[in-house]
């Protein structure tokens, strides 16, 4: 899953609040808190959070004060006489969002990167208050009426196109929150939303409980042959925790993967695969115990009802309403086309894998628990790629030099380390982005290494968005967070190529924010960008990590200075295409299933989950899992996360990023061409944030609509361009 998260501004922008709260007067205690509370002292436009002073004990007072101030300001906004205009409606709301973001942004950030018991408690205590406030705003009929009045006023035509989009986006989001419905329907909408949020949580809990409840105790170490020493050590530690001899295998992903991909013992692989593929279902070793069957039925039924209440034919239509894709059928066509193109390669991949497995003395027919295992062996033998052995060529200082040099080549901005700025941990670095004239364009925090109390994974988040107010311009500030292996004695941080990709990916999200030229916060940077287009800037950056002309300049052995050998570069490129056909049809299978599940739902028939996924597999899959496989029962992306009728977004955005990157290759990769294509990309797309529909921005850059060919070439599914 991608590490991108929406910033607080976006989360709360929609949310502006009702005139019902009595404004709370600032008493003397609050005044004292204000004087000493670092969450409240930072008011100036471009002052960064005071991370060296903020403590969990500051959260409650700061949050209460800001929410009270926002609620009284909201009462003034909706109570104001006369027709609303930009200055009396949008600007003060934007101000309110910013104020909340200055308090809650650092708190939720610290909750992620310094998740001590104290920070968790402070965050969890504040979260319901922020959620309530957000709901008040998004459910405010009075506020909606103000926006509606603004959109129908004579002044609307005088607003800039970007400002108009802000107002129209706002109205759309209000409508999609059930505003404007007759009271009985609105009440039903509210009940459905509450119930759905409960069901989503329970779905995820069932999956987690199913993972927690299963383990396999192994006393014969020989059964773990093939697994890495680190994985075996972990299994031993897990057993020791439970006061058991030997080893304990569990179903969390790293443990499952360590067995499924590496264990030589076929029966062991079969056993863990069976438990994993039947999590939270009516099958497998825990059949019926954490069964999500009924929850899925109810979730799909309520989603359908919600969509119909809002005037859509089905939930898939509601989902694409805020996306780049125009209609569910367009998405289906896209997926089927991709499947048709990838299937021959996938069949070839499978044939090759079967032949290899037989040659290795494996079974005549590959079962699901054999696929990852023999794929890994085939990858090793055909590519000879050893990720760990390449680490010395990817030392963090060199990687950063290469990345910064690339961005400078593309967009003409420089990165300057700011040692004077304070962060939340000594290993965090702060950089300033400077324009050609040395002017400050933005800042970012780089928190690269894993450590205790830091959430796993990698992500980019917004600290400050770009906005222009009467006080001046606020420049964007990003958090880039990764979890790389920390530097060891006398060594810099040495990354794998995969980690380099992660850094470039998150940096791509970061540049979307940092390079924006849009002055309206609601649509600047990553804000207001369609969900299925948001991975364009990030995946675009990954391409450079496979580009020989780039790797040659910076991928050097940190001790000897030797450049990464050509044959290693070729292997990296080949690894990108390894079994790309199989990987593509698998993603299409999930995306098509998700789309049809939501598009074709009929209340009288129910969800028909199993029948539907089998039908999708008949149509696109190359590998057939066993009949007991219950993958949808743990498909949290669509049943508990934000990807319902949107799982296709991964592939959709990849088409855009591959096609955008190919424009650079076509124009040439020398310095002059890079800058000229980079400038066009920046001006037509990257700097525009959500100020226009993504389809328009893409077309402005590429001069045509997106084509799938570049992605197919990238994955080796069709021949390279001559």
Catalytic residues: 506
Which tokens go with 653?
A: 């955005």
Taking each continuous run of H as one helix and of E as one strand, the counts in the chain are 28, 9
4 near Zn ion, judged by CB under 5 A: yes
Question: Shortest distance, CB of residue 2 to Zn ion, whole angstroms?
Answer: 3
Give the residue with the Cβ less far from Zn ion, 139 or 538.
Answer: 538
Buried/exposed 495-515: b ≥16 CB within 10 Å, e otherwise? bbbebbbbbbbbbbbbbbbbb
Nearest to 644 by CA among 130, 203, 141: 203
Q: What does the alpha-carbon distance between residue 622 and residue 585 come to, in Å, rounded to a whole number?
A: 7
Give the residue with the Cβ less far from Zn ion, 165 or 509.
Answer: 509
Which tokens go with 312?
A: 């859509």
Question: Shortest distance, CB of residue 212 to Zn ion, whole angstroms?
Answer: 28
2 near Zn ion, judged by CB under 5 A: yes
Helix, strand, or coil (residue 563): strand
Q: How many degrees, rounded to 5, is the angle at CA 675 between CA 674 and CA 677? A: 65
Question: Shortest distance, CB of residue 3 to Zn ion, whole angstroms?
Answer: 5
The answer to whether residues 433 and 440 touch, using CB atoms and an 8 Å cutoff, is yes
Question: Shortest distance, CB of residue 509 to Zn ion, whole angstroms?
Answer: 6
Nearest to 342 by CA among 573, 617, 621, 618: 621
The span of 20-28, 205-213, 395-403, 531-539 binding Zn ion (CB under 5 A) equals: 531-539
Q: How many degrees, rounded to 5, is the angle at CA 705 between CA 702 and CA 709? A: 85
The span of 10-18, 99-107, 534-542, 700-708 binding Zn ion (CB under 5 A) equals: 534-542
Q: Burial level of 69, CB count in 10 A (0-12/13-18/19+)?
A: middle
Which tokens go with 200?
A: 């989503």
The span of 44-52, 70-78, 160-168, 535-543 binding Zn ion (CB under 5 A) equals: 535-543
Question: Shortest distance, CB of residue 645 to Zn ion, whole angstroms?
Answer: 20
Site string for Zn ion, 112-151 (x = CB under 5 A): ----------------------------------------
Give the residue with the Cβ less far from Zn ion, 2 or 310.
Answer: 2
Nearest to 397 by CA among 290, 554, 175: 554
Give the residue with the Cβ less far from Zn ion, 564 or 711.
Answer: 711
Question: Shortest distance, CB of residue 379 to Zn ion, whole angstroms?
Answer: 25
Question: Shortest distance, CB of residue 172 to Zn ion, whole angstroms?
Answer: 24
Nearest to 503 by CA among 398, 647, 410: 398
Size of the site for Zn ion (CB under 5 A): 3
Q: What does the alpha-carbon distance between residue 36 and residue 47 come to, in Å, rounded to a whole number?
A: 16
Residue nearest to Zn ion (CB): 2
Which residues are registered as beta bridge partners of 478?
Answer: 444, 462
Give the residue with the Cβ less far from Zn ion, 538 or 629.
Answer: 538
- Can you spell out the DSSP letters for 404-457? HHHHHHHH--EEEE-TTS--SSTT-EEEEEE-TTS-EEEEEEEEEE--TT--SS
Give the residue with the Cβ less far from Zn ion, 119 or 445.
Answer: 445
The answer to whether residues 124 and 30 touch, using CB atoms and an 8 Å cutoff, is no
Give the residue with the Cβ less far from Zn ion, 206 or 714.
Answer: 714
Question: Shortest distance, CB of residue 29 to Zn ion, whole angstroms?
Answer: 43
Q: Which helix (H) or strand (E) holds 68?
A: helix 59-79
Q: What does the alpha-carbon distance between residue 487 and residue 71 come to, in Å, rounded to a whole number?
A: 47
Q: How many degrees, rounded to 5, is the angle at CA 576 between CA 560 and CA 569? A: 25
458 near Zn ion, judged by CB under 5 A: no
The span of 2-10, 145-153, 191-199, 697-705 binding Zn ion (CB under 5 A) equals: 2-10
Nearest to 501 by CA among 551, 455, 466: 551
Give the residue with the Cβ less far from Zn ion, 268 or 501.
Answer: 501
Which tokens go with 150?
A: 């603004």
Contacts of 187 (CB under 8 A, 6+ apart): none
Give the residue with the Cβ less far from Zn ion, 39 or 658.
Answer: 658
Question: Shortest distance, CB of residue 708 to Zn ion, whole angstroms?
Answer: 20
Question: Shortest distance, CB of residue 119 to Zn ion, whole angstroms?
Answer: 25
526 near Zn ion, judged by CB under 5 A: no
The span of 220-228, 276-284, 538-546, 650-658 binding Zn ion (CB under 5 A) equals: 538-546
The span of 5-13, 82-90, 490-498, 537-545 binding Zn ion (CB under 5 A) equals: 537-545
Contacts of 118 (CB under 8 A, 6+ apart): 56
The answer to whether residues 272 and 579 touch, using CB atoms and an 8 Å cutoff, is no
Contacts of 34 (CB under 8 A, 6+ apart): 26, 40, 41, 65
Question: Shortest distance, CB of residue 686 to Zn ion, whole angstroms?
Answer: 15
The span of 4-12, 185-193, 326-334, 511-519 binding Zn ion (CB under 5 A) equals: 4-12
The span of 237-245, 421-429, 532-540, 582-590 binding Zn ion (CB under 5 A) equals: 532-540
Give the residue with the Cβ less far from Zn ion, 4 or 147.
Answer: 4
Nearest to 463 by CA among 1, 112, 89: 112
538 near Zn ion, judged by CB under 5 A: yes
Q: Which of residues 85-104 bind Zn ion (CB under 5 A)?
A: none
Nearest to 495 by CA among 506, 504, 485, 505: 485
Give the residue with the Cβ less far from Zn ion, 247 or 590.
Answer: 590
Q: What does the alpha-carbon distance between residue 628 and residue 254 come to, in Å, rounded to a whole number?
A: 23
540 near Zn ion, judged by CB under 5 A: no
698 near Zn ion, judged by CB under 5 A: no
Q: Strands 477-484, 440-449: parallel, antiparallel or unpaired by DSSP?
A: parallel
**The dihedral sign for the CA sequence 527, 528, 532, 538:** negative
Residues binding Zn ion (CB under 5 A): 2, 4, 538
């Amino acid at each position: 899953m991608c590490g991108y998260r929406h910033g607080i501004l976006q989360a709360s922008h929609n949310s502006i609040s009702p005139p019902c709260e009595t404004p709370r007067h600032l008493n003397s205690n609050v005044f004292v808190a204000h004087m000493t509370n670092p969450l409240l002292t930072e008011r100036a436009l471009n002052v960064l959070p005071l991370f060296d002073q903020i403590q969990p004990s500051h959260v409650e007072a700061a949050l209460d004060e800001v929410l009270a101030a926002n609620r009284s300001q909201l009462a003034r906004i909706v109570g104001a006489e006369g027709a609303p205009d930009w200055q009396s409606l949008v600007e003060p709301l934007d101000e309110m969002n910013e104020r909340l973001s200055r308090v809650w942004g650092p708190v939720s950030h610290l909750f992620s990167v310094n998740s001590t018991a104290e920070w968790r408690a402070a965050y969890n205590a504040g979260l319901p208050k922020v959620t309530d406030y957000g709901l008040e705003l998004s459910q405010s009929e009075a506020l909606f009426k103000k926006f509606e009045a603004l959109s129908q006023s004579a002044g609307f035509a005088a607003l800039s196109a970007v400002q108009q989009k802000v107002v129209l986006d706002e109205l759309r989001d209000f409508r999609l929150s059930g505003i404007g419905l007759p009271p009985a329907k609105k009440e039903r909408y509210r009940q459905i939303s509450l119930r759905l949020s409960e069901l989503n949580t329970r779905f995820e809990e069932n999956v987690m409980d199913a993972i927690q409840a299963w383990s396999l105790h192994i006393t014969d170490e020989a059964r773990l042959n093939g697994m890495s020493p680190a994985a075996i050590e972990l299994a031993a530690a897990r057993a020791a925790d439970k006061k058991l001899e030997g080893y304990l295998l569990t179903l969390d992903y790293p443990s499952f993967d360590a067995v499924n991909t590496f264990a030589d013992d076929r029966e062991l692989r079969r056993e863990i695969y069976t438990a994993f593929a039947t999590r939270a279902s009516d099958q497998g070793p825990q059949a019926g115990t954490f069964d999500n069957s009924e929850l899925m039925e109810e979730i799909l039924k309520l989603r359908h009802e919600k969509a119909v209440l809002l005037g859509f034919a089905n939930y898939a239509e509601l989902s694409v309403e805020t996306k780049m894709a125009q209609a569910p059928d367009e998405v289906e066509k896209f997926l089927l086309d991709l499947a048709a193109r990838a299937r021959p390669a996938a069949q070839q991949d499978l044939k090759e894998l079967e032949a290899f497995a037989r040659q290795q003395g494996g079974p005549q027919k590959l079962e699901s628990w054999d696929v990852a295992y023999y794929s890994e062996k085939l990858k090793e033998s055909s590519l000879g790629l050893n990720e760990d052995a390449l680490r010395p060529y990817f030392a963090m200082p060199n990687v950063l030099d290469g990345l910064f040099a690339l961005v400078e080549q593309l967009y003409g901005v420089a990165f300057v380390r700011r040692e004077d700025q304070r962060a939340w941990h000594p290993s965090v670095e702060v950089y300033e982005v400077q324009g050609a004239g040395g002017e400050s364009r933005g800042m970012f925090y780089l928190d690269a290494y894993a450590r205790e109390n830091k959430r796993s994974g990698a992500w980019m988040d917004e600290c400050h968005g770009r906005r222009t107010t009467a006080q001046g311009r606020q420049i964007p500030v990003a958090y880039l967070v990764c979890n790389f292996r920390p530097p060891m004695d006398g060594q810099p941080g040495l990354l794998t190529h995969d980690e380099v990709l992660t850094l470039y990916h998150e940096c791509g999200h970061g540049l979307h924010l940092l390079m924006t030229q849009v002055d309206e916060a609601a649509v600047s940077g990553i804000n207001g960008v369609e969900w299925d287009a948001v991975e364009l800037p990030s995946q675009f950056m990954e391409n450079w990590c496979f580009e020989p002309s780039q790797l040659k300049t910076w991928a050097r052995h940190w001790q000897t200075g030797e450049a990464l050998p050509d044959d290693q570069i070729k292997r990296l490129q080949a690894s990108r295409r390894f079994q790309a056909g199989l990987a593509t049809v698998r993603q299409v299978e999930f995306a098509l299933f998700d789309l049809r599940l939501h598009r074709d739902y009929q209340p009288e028939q129910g969800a028909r989950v199993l029948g539907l996924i089998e039908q999708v597999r008949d149509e696109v899959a190359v590998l057939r899992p066993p009949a007991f496989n219950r993958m949808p029962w743990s498909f949290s992306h669509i049943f508990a996360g934000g990807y319902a009728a949107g799982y296709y977004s991964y592939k959709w955005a990849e088409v855009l990023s591959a096609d955008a990157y190919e424009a650079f290759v076509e124009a040439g990769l020398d310095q002059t061409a890079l800058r000229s294509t980079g400038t066009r990309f920046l001006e037509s797309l990257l700097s525009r944030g959500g100020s226009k529909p993504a389809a328009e921005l893409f077309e402005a850059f590429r001069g045509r609509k997106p084509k799938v060919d570049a992605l197919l070439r990238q994955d080796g599914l069709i021949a390279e361009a001559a």
